[in-house]
């Protein structure tokens, strides 16, 4: 299968290319062995029809519910196979139920749960499977299932809070656009027709808004095509790995955005790494796994760089310090954790700290957005309203021209 990739080379420059491999993991191994730090690896061998035939991924809430149910059943002393059967019987999605059936059969035949789940990456992410594997190795599968449910529950809660913050301005701007277009294309022309009949001279603002109204009304098809082309162009552009890398780099430099991105990424990394270290996974493997959970490509690159440095025998704190966006307090906590042997505990504390900071930051961002949007929309709607009211004042002040 053919894969495209975006990676850092040995000179720390972004490069992209294409290679052949049997799987994404093999493609990653090829790149790492060649001295690259891969940021994005994407399959190019699938047709659109094949992608659509795979169906939808499992919803986060459903994955959390399944994990919680398994933990409760196994803790109650129910054998794993019977617990899997109970979970399977509650699922309404036929495709997912079939996957659970096959997983149950594999476990019944002696396969580890992690290996059986690993065959279905559409439903069970790689991180999820690796955490189940850690639970199997430690002999505390129910405890690990609880930790997995808690981890993904916190991830879902954070994602929903971010979505709520983004939804409000999108809703307000959408409603303002609808009201503005309705007034400019429907209400204003009718009122202007009355003014024309009365032979009222129109103020400059009214003429500008009226000109915009006529342009929109007379070129609806062209404007719709332009908007569609713009949306498609932006979508295609954002799909390009190099464009995403530039945007992610920019996000870490913008004053208001960078803090939220760093809180989100370091909170997730700290939470993931603390769970894995607590269950005995070596630090090199922790860094490799954690890098795949990073959404920001710059952060992912920093974690991959740290993985290479730690593999070579250097301290984690020194390796992470190479990234200019790493907060000094975070590096200090990592350094203290390494020196005291409490790295897992320190990372857990940092995860809680950054999660709280993210909550505070999101609330502050929303508090800033609300008045800014109100003022902006007030100017837009007020301008349109003023363009309608001005001729009326002209009539009242000077009488109707004969």
Count of CB atoms situated within 10 Å of the CB of 90: 11
Task: List pLDDT tens digits, range 117-143.
Answer: 998 888 898 889 988 998 888 888 888
Task: List pLDDT tens digits, range 39-59.
Answer: 778 777 544 434 433 456 678
Q: Which pLDDT does position 52 carry in this prediction?
A: 36
Residue 91 confidence class, pLDDT cut points 50, 70, 90: low
32: tokens are: 């790492």
Burial of 315 (0-12, 13-18, 19+ CB in 10 A): middle
Q: Quick check: 243 and 237 in contact, CB under 8 A?
A: yes
Q: Please work out, in degrees rounded to the nearest 5, the angle formed at the alpha carbon of residue 161 by the alpha carbons of 156 and 164.
A: 125
Lowest mean pLDDT among 53-67, 169-183, 201-215, 385-399: 385-399
Q: What average pLDDT does range 370-380 have in this prediction?
A: 81
Helices (H), 8-125: 24-33, 48-53, 60-75, 80-89, 94-108, 113-118
Round to whole Å and give the CA distance between 379 and 94.
Answer: 52
Residue 333 confidence class, pLDDT cut points 50, 70, 90: very high
Q: Which pLDDT does position 283 carry in this prediction?
A: 93
Per-domain residue ranges for the chain? Answer: 2-53, 60-124, 147-402
CATH fold of 147-402 = Receptor-associated Protein (1.20.81)
Q: Which pLDDT does position 315 carry in this prediction?
A: 94
308: tokens are: 């290479």
Residue 287 confidence class, pLDDT cut points 50, 70, 90: very high
Model confidence at 222: pLDDT above 80: yes
- The residues, any chain, with a CB within 8 Å of residue 336's CB and separated by 6 or more, are 342, 346
Burial of 374 (0-12, 13-18, 19+ CB in 10 A): exposed
Residue 270 confidence class, pLDDT cut points 50, 70, 90: very high
Question: What's the pTM?
Answer: 0.74
Q: Quick check: 54 and 122 in contact, CB under 8 A?
A: yes
Q: Quick check: 303 and 269 in contact, CB under 8 A?
A: yes
- Short-list 331, 333, 291, 339, CA closest to 311: 291
């Amino acid at each position: 299968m053919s894969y495209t990739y975006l990676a850092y080379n040995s000179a720390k420059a972004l490069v992209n290319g294409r290679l052949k491999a049997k799987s994404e993991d093999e493609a990653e191994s090829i790149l790492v062995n060649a001295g690259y730090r891969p940021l994005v690896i994407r399959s190019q061998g699938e047709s659109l029809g094949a992608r659509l035939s795979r169906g939808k991924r499992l919803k986060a809430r459903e994955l959390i519910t399944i994990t919680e149910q398994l933990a409760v059943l196994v803790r109650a002393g129910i054998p794993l196979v019977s617990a899997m059967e109970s979970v399977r019987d509650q699922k309404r999605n036929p495709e997912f139920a079939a996957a659970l059936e096959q997983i149950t059969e594999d476990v019944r035949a002696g396969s580890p749960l992690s290996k059986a789940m690993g065959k279905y990456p559409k439903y069970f992410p790689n991180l999820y499977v690796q955490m189940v594997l850690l639970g199997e190795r430690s002999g505390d599968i129910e405890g690990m299932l609880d930790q997995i449910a808690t981890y993904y529950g916190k991830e879902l809660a954070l994602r929903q809070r971010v979505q709520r913050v983004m939804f409000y301005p999108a809703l307000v701007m959408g409603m303002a656009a609808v009201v503005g277009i309705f007034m400019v294309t429907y209400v204003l022309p009718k009122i202007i027709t009355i003014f024309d009949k009365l032979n009222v001279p129109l103020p400059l603002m009214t003429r500008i808004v009226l000109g915009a109204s006529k342009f929109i009304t007379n070129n609806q098809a062209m404007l719709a095509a332009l908007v569609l082309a713009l949306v498609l162009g932006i979508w295609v552009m954002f799909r390009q790995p190099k464009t995403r890398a530039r945007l992610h780099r920019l996000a870490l430099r913008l004053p208001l955005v960078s803090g939220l991105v760093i809180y989100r990424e370091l909170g997730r990394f700290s939470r993931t790494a603390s769970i894995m270290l607590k269950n005995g996974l070596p630090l090199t493997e922790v860094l490799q796994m954690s890098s795949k959970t990073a959404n920001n490509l710059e952060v992912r690159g920093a974690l991959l760089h740290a993985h290479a440095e730690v593999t070579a025998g250097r301290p984690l704190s020194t390796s992470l310090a190479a990234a200019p966006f790493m907060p000094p307090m975070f590096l200090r906590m990592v350094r203290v954790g390494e020196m005291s042997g409490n790295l897992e505990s320190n990372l857990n504390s940092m995860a809680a700290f950054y999660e709280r900071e993210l909550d505070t930051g999101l609330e502050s961002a929303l508090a800033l957005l609300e008045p800014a949007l109100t003022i902006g929309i007030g100017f837009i709607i007020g301008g349109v309203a003023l363009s309608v009211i001005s001729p009326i004042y002209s009539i009242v002040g000077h009488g109707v021209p004969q």
